Amino acid sequence: MTFEYAPALESRSIVSIKAKYGHFINGSFVAGKKHFPTINPATEEILSHIALGGASDVDKAVMAAQKAYTKTWSKLSGKERGKYLYRIARILQERAREFAVLETLDNGKPIRETRDIDIPLVAAHFFYHAGWADKLDYAGLGHSPKAYGVAGQIIPWNFPLLMLAWKVAPALATGNTVVLKPAETTSLTALLFAEVCQQAELPDGVVNIVTGDGSTGAAIVNHPGVHKIAFTGSTDVGKKIARAIASTDKKATLELGGKGANIVFDDAPIDETVEGIVNGIFFNQGHVCCAGSRLIVQESVAEEVIEKLKVRMAKIRVGDPLDKNTDLGAINSKEQLVKIKELSAIGDAEGAERWSPQCNLSNKGFWFAPTIFTGVTQANRIAQEEIFGPVLSVLTFRTPQEAIDKANNTPFGLSAGIWSEKGSRIFWASQHLKAGVIWANTFNKFDPASPFGGYKESGWGREGGKHGLAAYLKTGKETGAK
Ligand code: ADP
C-alpha cells in the first residue's frame, strides 16, 4: 500500500513583488520606458512588469560602471573588495528563503532545488570569490594581474541567480565593474540582488542591471565601453556575439549548449546509476546546459537499467513548484515548451520509442512529463540537438571504445558522466572524452572552486576556480577564451 503525499506548500508571503520594475543603474533604480510582463510559468499569473532596456539605458549603465571603475573600485585594495563580497554573501544567506521563493515563482523550478541547491551555491560563489579578492597575486596568474574595466554580462533563464553569481562574483573579486542583463523571463531575482547591493553599501555603479531582451544584450556586447563579455546561453546567440566582437579587442567567455553523454558500463552499481541518470536529466526540468541528455549504456545491462529507470521515473513528482515534495516543476516558458514538444515529435518521427510515466499535468502553466526515448541512433536529431527539457535519449554500446566514439560524436563538448566500479576504466574514459566537465559515479555536481566550460560548440573559456579568475584579468593566463 502506498500513501499519498499531503501538500507541503512553501508560503510566498516572504516575497514582495512590485507591480513594475526599472533598471538598476549607478546604485539606484531608474524608471524604464517600455515594459513587458514576467509570469509564473506554473500558473501563467503575471508577477510583474519588467523594463525593456534600450541602447540609451545600456549607455547610462556602462558610463556608471566606467566611472565606478575609475573613481572607486580600481582604487580599493583586494582586501576591501573582498569585504564587500563577504557582505553580499552573508546577506544572500540571510535572505535565502526570500530568494528561493522568488526564483521558484519566476522560473518554475521546484522550491526544493532553489532552497537546497541554487541559493546555497549562489552564496558559496560569493564566499569563494571574496576569499580570492586579496590573493590574486598568488593565483598563478602573473604579478599584479589587472582588471579589464567594465564587464558586460548576459545570462540565461535556467539558473537565474546562480548564473548572476557565476558572473558577478569573479568580476568584482578581480576588480572589474559590471553591467549585467538577466534573461527576459527571469529578471526578478537579479532585481532583488540589486537591493542586496544597496544593502551591502556596494559603491554606486559597481554593479548595474539592465533588463530587456536580445536587443538589450546586443547593445551591451556592442558598447565600446565594455571590455570583457561573459555570456551564458544558446550556441546560436554565442556565435552572434563571437561575430560581433571579432574585429574588436574585447575578451569573451562563452558558456553555450551541450548534449552531455552519461556512460554506463556493465560493472556500474545499477541502483546508484539510476539515481544519477535521473539527476542528470530531470534536475531543473532538464533546463541544464550540462545535462546528461544522452544515456549511453552498455548493451548487456541496458534492459535492466531501462527497466529500473522507468520504475524510478514513475516516482518523480511533477507539480506545483512551491510544494516541497515536488521533484519536477514547470517548463520555464511557452516558447521552451514548444521547442521540447517539437524535438520530441521529431524523435517519434525518426522511429525512436517514447516512454513517460502517467502524470497529471495541470492545464494552466507549461508542463512536460519526464520522458525517455529508447532505440535512438546517433543520426537522430534527438541524439544531436539540445532539447533543454526533461527528455532523455538512450543509445547503447558494446565496447568501451564504441562508448567514447558515440559520446564524442557531437558538435558540443560540455559535460559527460561515467558510471563504473573500476577506477582504471574511469580514468581511461575521462582521458578520451572531449568534455569540459566529467563526473564519475555522480552527475550535476557544482562547486565554485571547480572550473566549468566546454569544448567545440559548447563555448570558450572557463568559469569558476582559478581558471575563471584568469578570464577577468589582463595578465591572467586565459584558458581558451578569446
Ligand atoms: P536560451 O535559449 O537559453 O533562451 P538565449 O541565448 O536565447 O538562450 O538567451 C540567453 C541570453 O542572451 C538572454 O539574456 C537573452 O536575452 C540574451 N540574448 C539573446 N540574443 C542576444 C544577442 N543577439 N546579443 C546578446 N544577447 C542576446
Residue 453, pLDDT > 90, answer yes
pLDDT band for position 364 (50/70/90)?
A: very high
Q: Is 152 helix (H, G, I), strand (E, B) or coil?
A: strand
Instruction: Decide if 298 contacts 397 (C-beta within 8 A).
Output: yes
Count the Cβ atoms, other than its own, within 10 Å of residue 13.
7
**Protein residue closest via CA to atom 17 of ligand 1:** 214
Catalytic residue among 103, 255, 463, 478: 255
Tell me what the mean pLDDT of segment 70-76 comes to: 98
480 pLDDT band (50/70/90 cuts)?
A: very low
Distance 46 CA to ligand 1 centre (A): 22
**Is the beta carbon of 183 within 6 A of some atom in ligand 1?**
yes
Q: How far is the CA of 215 from the centre of ligand 1 (A)?
A: 9
Q: How confident is the model at residue 371 (pLDDT cuts 50, 70, 90)?
A: very high
Mean pLDDT of 369-376: 98
Mean pLDDT of the chain: 96
Q: Please check the confidence at residue 378 and state whether its pLDDT lies above 60.
A: yes
CA distance 186 to 91: 21
Question: For ligand 1, is residue 457 a contact (CB within 6 Å)?
Answer: no
CA dist., res. 58 & res. 218, Å (int): 10
pLDDT at residue 182 in the model: 98
Distances (CA, A) of 259 to 41, 253, 458: 25, 19, 9
pLDDT digits (tens, 9 = 90+) for 13-64: 999 999 999 999 999 999 999 999 999 999 999 999 999 999 999 999 999 9
Looking at ligand 1, which atom is closest to the CA of residue 183? 14
Strands (E), 321-480: 353-355, 371-374, 391-397, 415-419, 437-440, 459-460
Q: Which pLDDT score, from 0 to 100, does residue 448 have?
A: 97
Q: How much of the chain, in percent, has pLDDT values that exceed 90?
A: 96
Please give the order of strands across the beta sheet that includes 415-419: 353-355, 371-374, 391-397, 294-298, 261-264, 415-419, 437-440
Q: Which residues does 89 contact at the CB level (< 8 Å), separation at least 6?
A: 123, 126, 127, 130
**Using CA positions, which residue lies closest to atom 15 of ligand 1?**
214
With a 6 A CB cut-off, is 234 part of the ligand 1 pocket?
yes
Q: Can you give the pLDDT at residue 475?
A: 72
pLDDT tens-place string over residues 314-336 = 999 999 999 999 999 999 999 99
Choosing from 103, 289, 290, 478, the catalytic residue is 289
- Give the residue-averaged pLDDT of 185-194: 98
Asked about 275 being catalytic, the answer comes back as no
- Tell me which H or E stretch contains 16: none
Taking residue 446's Cβ as centre, other Cβ atoms within 10 Å add up to 17
- Is the pLDDT assigned to residue 348 strictly greater than 80? yes
CB atoms within 10 A of CB 120: 16
Per-residue model confidence as pLDDT tens digits over 459-471: 999 999 999 999 9
Separation of 220 CA from ligand 1 center, angstroms?
A: 12
Separation of 186 CA from ligand 1 center, angstroms?
12
pLDDT level of residue 481 (50, 70, 90 thresholds): low
pLDDT of 4 reads 83
Asked if pLDDT for residue 476 goes beyond 70, the answer is no
In the chain, pLDDT over 70 holds for what percent of residues? Answer: 98
Residue of 221, 223, 237 with the most ligand 1 atoms within 8 Å of its CB, for mutation: 237
Residues 264/273, Cβ–Cβ less than 8 Å: yes
Q: Is 97 exposed, middle or buried (0-12, 13-18, 19+ CB in 10 A)?
A: middle
255 classed as catalytic: yes
Q: What is the pLDDT of residues 206-227, one digit of tens each?
A: 999 999 999 999 999 999 999 9
Q: Are 378 and 402 in contact (CB under 8 A)?
A: no
Please name the residue ranges forming H helices in 269-408.
270-282, 299-313, 334-349, 381-384, 400-408
What is the distance in angstroms between the CA of the first residue and the CA of the last residue of the chain?
59
How far is the CA of 218 from the CAs of 38, 165, 222, 238, 306, in angstroms?
Answer: 21, 21, 6, 11, 44
Q: Ligand 1 center to residue 242 CA distance, Å?
A: 13
Is pLDDT at 1 greater than 90 in this prediction? no
Beta bridge partners, 43, equal: none
CA–CA dist 352, 393 (Å, integer): 9
Cβ burial 44-58 (10 Å sphere, 16+ → b, else e): eeebbbbbbbbeebb
Is the CB of residue 78 below 6 angstroms from any atom belonging to ligand 1? no
Residue found under cell 519526464: 370
What is the DSSP code (8-state) at residue 156?
A: -
Cβ of residue 156 lying under 6 Å from some atom of ligand 1: yes
